[in-house]
Amino acid sequence: MILHAFTDGASRGNPGESGFGIIVKDDSGDTILALSGYIGRTTNNIAEYTALLKLLEHMRSAECSRMIVHSDSELMVRQLNGSYKVRDKGLKRYHARFQELKKSLPFDIVIRHIGREENKEADRLANEAINTRTSSSA
C-alpha cells in the first residue's frame, strides 16, 4: 500500500506564532490521519520541518510499502532531495533528524513539492493550531 501525506508549517511573521498540519490518505484517497500542533514562536522553515518530523515520528510503524510526502515548501523539499545545501545552522539539526528517521522507517519515503492550492487541508490544520494554540489528532 502507498500512503500519501500532506504536510504544512505555518508561521505568522518570520519568526512568529507557528503551527503544523498533517493529513495522511490511503490508496483510495480516504483520510486515515489528521494531526496538527501549535509550536510557539519560530520560523516558517522550522515549522515546515517540524510538520515532516512529526509525521514520520507518528507513522514510524505504518504498514505500507511507500509513503509519498507532499509539501509546498520548495526549500525543504529541495534540501531533502539534495538539490539545495542546508546552510542554516538551525535547519541542519532538523535535516539530520530527518535522515535518522528515514533510515529507521520500514517503508520507502518520497518527498514531492506541490503548490499551495494542493495543500489546503494541511494548511488549514496548521492555521487552526495557531488560532487555538492547541494540538489535535483524528
pLDDT tens digit string along 11-34?
999 999 999 999 999 999 999 999
With a cut of 90, say whether residue 138 has pLDDT above it: no
pLDDT tens digit string along 46-78?
999 999 999 999 999 999 999 999 999 999 999
Percentage of the chain beyond pLDDT 90 is: 96
Better-predicted residue by pLDDT, 135 or 121? 121
Burial readout 39-74 (b: 16 or more C-beta within 10 A, e: otherwise): beebbbbbbbbbbbbbbbeebeebebeebbbbbbbe
CATH number of the domain where residue 118 is located: 3.30.420.10
CB 118 within 8 A of CB 10: no
With a cut of 80, say whether residue 108 has pLDDT above it: yes
With a cut of 90, say whether residue 83 has pLDDT above it: yes
Average pLDDT, the chain: 96
Q: What is the pLDDT of residue 126?
A: 98
Domain extent, residue 42, equals 2-137
Percentage of the chain beyond pLDDT 70 is: 99
Number of domains, the chain: 1
Q: What is the pLDDT of residue 28?
A: 95
With a cut of 80, say whether residue 137 has pLDDT above it: no
